[in-house]
Chains A and B, each alone.
Chain A
């Protein structure tokens, strides 16, 4: 099976840049999506196809995917960005999620 690995937690000061990584074998050969989930809510896609933002997602969210690592970057992080973030990709017609990263804005 294919595994995606994320750091359990990332902390950032308001206004600074947060980077959340997702690692997997030859990940650059697969598309990666990123989801934001706040307590008691369903996940929301913030990045798809490695680097595209759905309509309604702020420009401060961006993504990249190179080598074995995909990265979600949040520039000018705001308090409202505090949430759990999950990467997701595909493996032989099945779907794989990373274990998730809790982003703390303090």
Chain B
């Protein structure tokens, strides 16, 4: 089955760290640009980060730059998001998403998301 499954979310105190994972299956993971997108409760999606298919050239939203690190393991079909110095406003459902090969194709596949709650 073609799918993305996120894991690693949970409750963490402000200033803490968390590592999210996204397991891909059913497609050639290594050939796709992958993203993390988050959605705070009752709000719209907000792009967080992306990484190219060959594990190079990561990009980040200004709000997470210097605190989050995206990476991938193409051998094990897994995308990661290492989050540190977490803040209350990082609370959200975190989705991994696959971008289509064509320019302008958008996020053609999303996982179900994993909830991250930052609270004392």
Contact = CB atoms under 8 A, between A and B. Distances in A.
Interface of A: 1, 31-33, 35, 37, 42-45, 48-50, 54, 84, 86, 88, 90, 93-100
Interface of B: 35, 37, 44-47, 50, 59, 61-62, 95, 100, 102-108, 110-113
Contacts of B50: 93-95
Contact of A97 (B47, B100, B104): B47
Contacts of B103: 31, 49
Nearest to B50: A95
B31 to A, nearest CB: 18
A28 B107 CA distance: 19
Given A42-B95, A42-B112, A49-B102, A99 B44 contact: yes
Contacts of A84: 44
B107 A49 contact: no
Nearest to A33: B106
Nearest to B102: A49
Nearest to B45: A97
Contacts of B112: 42
